[in-house]
Amino acid sequence: MQKITVKITSLLLLPSILLITMMASCKKDTDGTPQYKASGTMTGSLDSTQGSARTVLTLTGNGLGKIATILFEKDSVNAPFLATLNTETALIFQVPDAASGGQQNIKFTNINGVTLEVGFKVIALAAVNKLSTTEAQAGDLITITGNNFNDVTTVVVNSTGDAVQVISKTKTQMVVKMPVTNAERVAFKITNASGTSVSALDVVNVNKAFTVYSDQYDNNFQNWGWGGDYNGSTTADRIAGVNSMVAAFDPNGAWGGLQIGNGNLTVTGKKYFSFWVKGADADKQIQFNLNWGSWKVITVPAGKWTYYEYTMSTDFPGVSTINFVVFQMFDAGKTVLFDDIMFHN
């Protein structure tokens, strides 16, 4: 009987032993964050003295555990980082996209409020993400959206070096004036405290294009339209310059036509035909052609400017001289605006 009692006691104790073991195991589980302590003092240095946005940096030293924040002191930009990349002797992080250019301190603070400051130079070249227009005439204002414009010192036309006047600037936006230049397309070379960059985006120089209509009918073109009134206006909304065409297709008729004729314009060497049109109060279909050739049909969205561009070699093969540009509105007419009808590179 004694042996049986011992065996039963052992079996009764087994669940308790398993429970204690499981509790001990659970106590050791973590979320993956290194189990290092925050120090009362921190020392360290970076593996590089300068870098641009998204550069990976490593801080090495002592007492670096439990870093809570990383702050680039110029304009107070925080750098996000992973706690799993933080030990008592090292921290890996990236230069944030919003970091301002120039020499500054990076301030590291742990959960105890202890700080370490290390000098670093952020290379933040001007970056162009968007231009307010695809084309402009000399004197037009162009809004450039992007980053790192607040410390811009000069802007020039990349291909010619012509100076570009800066009207205003913030960190993320800059307004410039289109210069007088022989460049057919204007890309901007921008210099700030970090260096020089060239915009991948550019604008067509209307003054160097072969225009059918810019601020007026150009290059001997005339209004030969029917079923409506087609005249320039300095008070109507426009894309560039001081004028746009108000094309009032007859609302009581059908198939009114804006015929721009008698130009005899040689367009050899120009790659594109383009125009802007601002829609009416409803979407409308418009068809157009060059020299009374085959029609192309577009649907003009209501209430906004829309840009249309066609490649001459593929959309109008063999066309080298332009005598007519015709726009015809389907069904009952509406009033729309046209601007910068032209051929360009």
**% of the chain exceeding 70 in pLDDT:** 90
- How crowded is residue 288: how many other Cβ atoms within 10 Å of its Cβ? 20
Whether domain 43-123 has CATH 2.60.40.1930: the reply is yes
Average pLDDT over residues 287-305: 97
Alpha-carbon separation of residue 96 from 53, 56, 124 (angstroms): 5, 10, 11
pLDDT at 159: 97
pLDDT in tens, 145-199: 999 999 999 999 999 999 999 999 999 999 999 999 999 999 999 999 899 999 9
- Quickly state the pLDDT bin for 129 (edges 50, 70, 90): very high
pLDDT at 7: 40
Average pLDDT over residues 78-96: 96
280/300 Cα distance (integer angstroms): 8
| Residue ranges per structural domain of the chain | 43-123, 127-206, 209-344
- Quickly state the pLDDT bin for 34 (edges 50, 70, 90): low
Does residue 172 sit in helix, strand or coil?
coil
- Quickly state the pLDDT bin for 17 (edges 50, 70, 90): very low
- Quickly state the pLDDT bin for 36 (edges 50, 70, 90): confident
CATH topology of domain 127-206: Immunoglobulin-like (2.60.40)
Of 17-26, 54-63, 118-127, 328-337, the poorest mean pLDDT is in 17-26
pLDDT at 12: 38
Q: Which tokens hold the place of 307?
A: 């840009």
Task: Write out the DSSP string of 81-138.
Answer: --GGGB-SSEEEEE--TTPPSEEEEEEEEETTS-EEEEEEEEE---EEEEES-SEE-T
pLDDT at 221: 96
Which CATH number is 209-344's, of 2.60.120.260, 3.30.70.330, 3.40.50.720, 2.30.22.10?
A: 2.60.120.260
pLDDT at 33: 57
Whole-structure pTM value: 0.76
pLDDT at 48: 97
Domains 43-123 and 209-344 share a fold: no
Alpha-carbon separation of residue 313 from 266, 272, 276, 310, 319 (angstroms): 14, 8, 20, 9, 8
pLDDT at 30: 54
Please provide residue 255's backbone torsions phi and psi, each rounded to the nearest 5 degrees. Answer: 60, 40
pLDDT at 331: 86
Does residue 313 sit in helix, strand or coil?
helix
Q: Which tokens hold the place of 285?
A: 């279909």
Average pLDDT over residues 230-259: 92
Average pLDDT over residues 81-99: 95
CB-neighbour burial class of residue 105 (10 A; exposed 0-12, middle 13-18, buried 19+): middle
343/345 Cα distance (integer angstroms): 7
Q: Which tokens hold the place of 212?
A: 């059918």
Pick from 150, 188, 129, 9: nearest CA to 74:
150
Q: Which tokens hold the place of 292?
A: 């009374």
Contact assessment for residue 213 and residue 183, using Cβ atoms and an 8 Å cutoff = no
pLDDT at 5: 39
Contact assessment for residue 335 and residue 246, using Cβ atoms and an 8 Å cutoff = yes
Residue at token pair 């020089």: 196
Contact assessment for residue 51 and residue 95, using Cβ atoms and an 8 Å cutoff = yes
Average pLDDT over residues 23-51: 75
For the chain, what is the mean pLDDT? 90
